[in-house]
Structure 1
Amino acid sequence: MVSFSTLIAFALVSLGMVCSPGPNMIYLISRSITQGRMAGFISLLGIMLGFIIYIIATMFGLTVLFIAVPFVYEMVKWSGAVYLLWLAWNSIKPGATSILEPRTVSIEPPRKLFLMGLMTNLLNPKIAILYVSLLPQFEDPAKGSLLIQGGVLGLTQITVSFIVNLIIVIVASRVAKLLGTRPTWLKVQRWLMATVLTCLAANLIFERRQ
């Protein structure tokens, strides 16, 4: 069984990942501001289903694939690092905007909102990196079934992600309205975001496969 200290450590890593800006956060903020909290919540449910799919895939084969074919692991790792650096550049390049500046999105029905949330998450490299490269590092064969450990860790990540993203949906419009009109703060936010993403990319690049 996963130890309490390991669970806390993984929860903190999950918190750091979900708080770093990416497609999920940008989509939820834009959707919540444009179409309301209910639309943001429905989109969030789709995103949560994406997490569940990743958990199941990781528990039943992706980890084994990376052990058997190290090249695939390295390819995913470097793709994730490049993706994070791309996000960092896009946050500070000339003409860049803050994630708190509303983006115009079309009004969609609930079913499409759910599917869009699902696809946004499934096509998010950051989530793939979390499950297939970080999650296995918190598993210990000496502490019982890896399948159960993977499930516990996965549910921990889902819980952390759901709470954080739900808060984002609830406060998106208020935060955007309060801070979105302050140019100095938005500039600081963009550079801070770029710094965090660059550090995550560097950590991923120098991380050793276990």
Structure 2
Amino acid sequence: MITFQFLLTALVVVIAPGTGVIYTLAMGLGRGRGAALFAAAGCTLGILPALLAAILGVAAVLHTSAILFNIVKFAGVAYLLWMAWGAVRQTGALAVKPADGSADPMWRVAWRGLLINVLNPKLSIFFLALLPPFLSGDPTRATIEMASLGAVFMGMTFAVFAIYGLFAGAFRAWLLSSERAMAWLNRSFAAVFAALAGRLALERA
């Protein structure tokens, strides 16, 4: 059931900086407000497979299958490291630089955000742990209640990520005026994504 306790719990989870937040901030700083909104939308849509897995019970299978869990996990690790490397070279999706006409289309910005969450096996297990305590206890309504809670969580995710991204986009003009600041941010994004990849690699089912 959608209660104040659930909304507060979900808000705390969504606000906490994670891979999706960092990616959305990077898009706001590197590409502007429009890209930040597409990034937020992609990250939000990336939640849907994990939510469906939790509702259908697939998350429990993922949790008990070490091989399947590790396949998804290390695919996610490789993807985060690839994005970190692109930031180091200042040529990848996270690169903060002036527009030069070679930027990827917005659908790719959203697609990368989607992949960030799809390739995180912990997300489906997270929903399996987060949602059940807020159910009414009626087995016949469990599916619709989990879907409703998940939809609210996704809506909050998009709203909070969009705020993060729009806030970052507001500083883009100032950032582009300083080559030192751009270089520092590129290295910072690379370091953060490499650290997130390392943390994901250490996760266990």
- Scaled by the length of structure 2, the TM-score of the pair is 0.65
Q: Given the superposition, is the C-alpha separation of residues 150 and 193 from structure 1 closer, same or farther in structure 2, using an over 3 Å criterion?
A: farther
| Match in the other structure for 1:163 | 160
| Match in the other structure for 1:198 | 194
Indicate the percent of aligned positions where both proteins have the same amino acid. 15
| Match in the other structure for 1:75 | 71
| Match in the other structure for 1:101 | 98
Verify the 8 A CA contact 2:26 2:189 in the aligned structure 1.
no
**Alignment deviations for residues 111-159 of structure 1 (CA, whole Å, 9 cap, x no partner):** xx7x76765554x133441633543354566975775457535632541
123, 127, 130: which one aligns with 1:135: 127
Shift of residue 179 of structure 1?
A: 0.8
Q: Distance in 2 between matches of 1:54 and 1:28?
A: 28
Question: What is the DSSP-based 3-state SS (H/G/I as helix, E as strand, rest coil) of the residue aligned with 2:73?
Answer: helix
58, 62, 65: which one aligns with 2:58: 62
Shift of residue 198 of structure 1?
A: 1.9
Verify the 8 A CA contact 2:47 2:117 in the aligned structure 1.
no
| Match in the other structure for 2:19 | 17
Write the letter of the residue equivalent to 2:67. F
**Alignment deviations for residues 83-117 of structure 1 (CA, whole Å, 9 cap, x no partner):** 112212221137677335336369x9xxxx7x767
Write the letter of the residue equivalent to 1:125. I
Shift of residue 51 of structure 1?
A: 4.3
Q: Given the superposition, is the C-alpha separation of residues 171 and 86 from structure 1 closer, same or farther in structure 2, using an over 3 Å criterion?
A: closer
Question: Residue 47 in 1 paired to residue 42 in 2?
Answer: yes
Question: What is the DSSP-based 3-state SS (H/G/I as helix, E as strand, rest coil) of the residue aligned with 2:171?
Answer: helix
Aligned residues: 194
Q: Given the superposition, is the C-alpha separation of residues 88 and 51 from structure 1 closer, same or farther in structure 2, using an over 3 Å criterion?
A: closer
Q: Given the superposition, is the C-alpha separation of residues 150 and 69 from structure 1 closer, same or farther in structure 2, using an over 3 Å criterion?
A: farther
Q: Given the superposition, is the C-alpha separation of residues 105 and 156 from structure 1 closer, same or farther in structure 2, using an over 3 Å criterion?
A: farther
Verify the 8 A CA contact 2:43 2:117 in the aligned structure 1.
no
Write the letter of the residue equivalent to 1:189. L
**Alignment deviations for residues 25-80 of structure 1 (CA, whole Å, 9 cap, x no partner):** 649964x57xxx5x976x57963772464355222243144145332111111111
Question: What is the DSSP-based 3-state SS (H/G/I as helix, E as strand, rest coil) of the residue aligned with 1:194?
Answer: helix
Verify the 8 A CA contact 2:21 2:164 in the aligned structure 1.
no
Question: Residue 181 in 1 paired to residue 159 in 2?
Answer: no
Q: Given the superposition, is the C-alpha separation of residues 165 and 64 from structure 1 closer, same or farther in structure 2, using an over 3 Å criterion?
A: same
* Unmatched 5+ stretches in structure 2: none
* Unmatched 5+ stretches in structure 1: none
Verify the 8 A CA contact 1:44 1:117 in the aligned structure 2.
yes
**Alignment deviations for residues 163-189 of structure 1 (CA, whole Å, 9 cap, x no partner):** 3225525763x4322211311111111
